[in-house]
Amino acid sequence: MYQEEKTFTLRFSLETRFPDEYEGDDDSHAWVREWETRIKPEMIRAVFESLRRTPHWTAHTRNRGRSPEDEIEVVVERDFSVSTPFSG
């Protein structure tokens, strides 16, 4: 079977600022926990909800050995081997 691929990267860089008198780790990285427990799951859910509304395409995650805290790869796939190519 012949297969083609293209990569698209949407990268999020998390940053936060603290006052000059901040001693570091005083908040125990609460801002990272907020990203991991609330923001990132909502964002991933929204991505998959959008992809599910797109006909002929499927999506799933793939792990290439990186921690899901650092990377989530979403594979978006269209399989022409089971349908007529370029039919819409």
What would the pLDDT profile of 13-70 be if each residue is shown by its tens digit? Answer: 999 998 888 887 778 889 999 999 999 999 999 999 999 999 999 999 998 889 999 9
With a CB cutoff of 8 Å and minimum separation 6, the contacts of 71 are 64
Neighbours of 26 (CB within 10 A): 10
Task: Give, in order, the Cα–Cα distances in Å from 53 to each of 3, 18, 40.
Answer: 24, 41, 20
Distance CA 38, CA 35 (A): 6
What's this model's pTM, rounded to 2 decimal places? 0.76
What distance in Å separates the CA atoms of residue 73 and residue 75, rounded to the nearest whole number? 6
Amino acid 22: pLDDT:
87
pLDDT at 4: 94
* Residue 47, pLDDT score: 96
